[in-house]
């Protein structure tokens, strides 16, 4: 299998293609599904992050082969499902920029998803050069104490919001992943705070999160949909929430 792959199951709701540059993620989110998905110990996953071997050379080879064989339509490539393209390790490695440049060169649109800090703004010049590219953040909490509890090493909520504003100001299509919902009131506030510069929202929950058993999901879904309708915002309600 190449480094660009086709997600399966619920992940397909986010993108038709995906690319993970790193093994592991330093943000340490306690709800993170990726350790289970990659069959790794959670502590190791969050504390022993490494760049995948020869990832840029492998990506370049992959893109050339895909283009030559017309293996995939040139659909959105999500970075990333099981890591973060702007986690602290990226400050040293700088591979996300190289990956975006290669995707641009081969006319594959990039879809960024990150909880990173202002490093996330570094490559927006490249994202703005290809019309299909998108910049997105994962944001579900605005209260700093709650955010530190659930996402101890991720960027502060206001920094992620600022990253969205900058991307939108540069003409890049923006999106926000509101998943998993942890506090429905804060989820509604996230929508209110970001609706002026967010083009699309994706909303869902994680089935195995015991905390979420305390939430009335029928009511939560109705409130969120009503908010999107009120604001006339483009959105996707993922199956995890539709089936709740």
The answer to whether 178 touches 140, Cβ cutoff 8 Å, is: yes
The answer to whether 209 touches 168, Cβ cutoff 8 Å, is: no
Spatial separation of the C-alpha atoms in residues 160 and 180, rounded to whole Å: 16
At residue 216's C-alpha, the angle toward residues 202 and 235, to 5°, is: 15
Spatial separation of the C-alpha atoms in residues 32 and 27, rounded to whole Å: 9
For 119-165, give the DSSP string.
Answer: GGGTTHHHHTTSTT-EEEEE-----HHHHHHHSTTSPPHHHHHHHHH
Read off the pLDDT band of 208 (50, 70, 90): low
80-118: pLDDT as tens digits: 999 999 999 999 999 999 999 999 999 999 999 999 999
Any idea which architecture 4-242 has in CATH? Alpha-Beta Barrel (3.20)
The answer to whether 241 touches 221, Cβ cutoff 8 Å, is: yes
Spatial separation of the C-alpha atoms in residues 133 and 108, rounded to whole Å: 8
Best CA proximity match to 230, nearest among 188, 178, 176: 188
55-73: pLDDT as tens digits: 999 999 999 988 887 766 7
127-138: pLDDT as tens digits: 999 999 999 999
With a pLDDT cut of 70, the percent of the chain lying above it is 95
Domain ranges of the chain: 4-242
Q: Which residues pair with 170 in a beta bridge?
A: none
155-192: pLDDT as tens digits: 999 999 999 999 999 999 999 999 999 999 999 999 99
With tokens 């997105």, the residue in question is: 136
Spatial separation of the C-alpha atoms in residues 221 and 137, rounded to whole Å: 21
Report whether pLDDT(11) > 80.
no
């Amino acid at each position: 299998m190449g480094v660009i792959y086709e997600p399966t199951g619920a992940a397909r709701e986010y993108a038709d293609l995906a690319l993970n540059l790193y093994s592991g993620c330093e943000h340490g989110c306690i709800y993170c599904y990726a350790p289970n998905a990659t069959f790794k110990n959670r502590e190791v996953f969050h504390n022993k992050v490494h760049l995948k071997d020869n990832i840029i050379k492998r990506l370049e080879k992959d893109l050339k082969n895909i283009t030559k064989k017309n293996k995939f339509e040139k659909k959105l490539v999500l970075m990333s499902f099981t890591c973060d393209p702007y986690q602290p390790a990226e400050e040293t490695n700088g591979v996300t920029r190289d990956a975006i440049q290669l995707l641009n060169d081969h006319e594959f649109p990039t879809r960024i998803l990150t909880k990173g800090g202002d490093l996330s703004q570094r490559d927006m010049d490249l994202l703005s050069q290809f019309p299909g590219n998108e910049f997105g953040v994962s944001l579900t909490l605005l209260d700093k104490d709650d955010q530190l509890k659930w996402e101890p090493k991720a960027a502060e909520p206001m920094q992620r919001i600022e990253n969205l504003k900058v991307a939108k100001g540069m003409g890049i299509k923006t999106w926000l992943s509101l998943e998993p919902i942890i506090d429905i009131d804060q989820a509604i506030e996230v929508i209110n705070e970001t609706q002026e510069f967010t083009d699309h929202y994706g909303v869902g929950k994680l089935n195995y999160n015991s905390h979420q058993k305390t939430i009335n999901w029928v009511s939560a879904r109705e409130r969120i949909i009503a908010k999107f309708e009120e604001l006339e915002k483009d959105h996707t309600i993922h199956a995890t929430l539709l089936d709740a």
